[in-house]
Structure 1
Amino acid sequence: MVLDIFPFLTNDFLDSLDHEERKAKVKEAFSLAIELIQKIRPSIVLSCQCFARYTYQHERWGGFTNPLIDVLSSSMSEAEQQRVSKVSIGDHTFHVIKAFNPAKIYYEDGQEKQDIDNLLRDIFSKVFSGYGKSKALHKKSLKDKLDATAAKLHKIGFKYLDLMSHYERIEPSVPASWAHEVKGDGFSELKRSVSEIVISVKKLQKEQI
């Protein structure tokens, strides 16, 4: 999920407001961002926002400031050090990994451009590659479960055919009550087996949603 620290605000919109209105709208937008973090409760936030740390210096932003802005923002020096901060908002604690806005790459030339491009790629790779591996392992686990379920269904199918063949071979001389009892036990066992399969399949379906 991508979250702007000041969501829904544009320069044109802010420029259309007076000082007090700007400050109120900026505060409202920032409060919304904090509320979203508290509701979503991420374990990691990758900060690619450097400018927000200095918004209080700009008239356009109404001089608004808040201690959390500095905590959630980043800087090139912090990104180069690949710093990670532990942050608590209310009852939720998470880690903020310092990066920078990708747009900065387009303002540089030559070796500097290549260096910061490599830096950002390295940060993103370290953050997300682990998730990719974890997701792949999870998918493999689900596939293994599905394969096992399919094998079990196959086995039950043969068992069902075998039981049917057995019932068809019951001698007419056997008392009807005995035949009913044998069939009843066999069908009960088959029903239990099929029920187990249905439950397993439902669980797998829920895991894949």
Structure 2
Amino acid sequence: MDYAALIDHTILAPQATKEQVKQLCGEAMEYGFHSVCVNSSFVYYCAQLLKDSHIKVCTVIGFPLGAMSTAGKVAEAEQAMADGASELDMVIHVGMIKSGDWEYVKQDISSVVEAARGKAAVKVILETCLLTEQEKTQACRVCRECGADFVKTSTGFSKGGATAEDVALMRRTVGPEMGVKASGGIRSLEDAKAMVEAGANRLGTSSGAAIVKAQE
């Protein structure tokens, strides 16, 4: 298993500096990660640093709360793609799930998926630590219906991160064709193995270098 190829090498802290983002891109090239995942203001900078590599630029949309308006999410997505992002990790609207307003949730996801069609992959962050098992299952179904490319566990900014149990539930629900990204609290090779064994085919982590070194 080539774990490096599964990793979205991530820095999303509000205090992240340009120097730290530059270091992130350097590590991604050194270790052969799938992408770097940064806040949208850093997309253009990363795209320039990585333009001669195969490393993709991933960014987050409506992050970390998911409560931004749909129009705001679409605008952020469109600007990020114009700046060079080819993967968009959008946060689902947890409050609308809790309200039972699944039509809003569908429209929110569909709008970003439609904006990204043919230009970028869309991963929908469920923030599983805030949802019931029934809500997680329904959210996965909605993401699949809307044409999202991946479901993703967590932002890493709420009260919990990825668990193997949630990854397994998500994989069972979306089936083998759709992507499942585990993110939040993946810090070791053992964590990475557990997520992949549960069904994840992408890993979001800021500990990619440590994971790859442990594998070596």
**Could you tell me the TM-score, scaled by structure 1's length?**
0.28
Query: Taking CA–CA contacts closer than 8 Å with sequence separation of 6 or more, which of the two structures ends up with the larger relative contact order?
Result: 2
Q: Compare CA radii of gyration and give the structure with the larger one.
A: 1
**Could you tell me the TM-score, scaled by structure 2's length?**
0.27
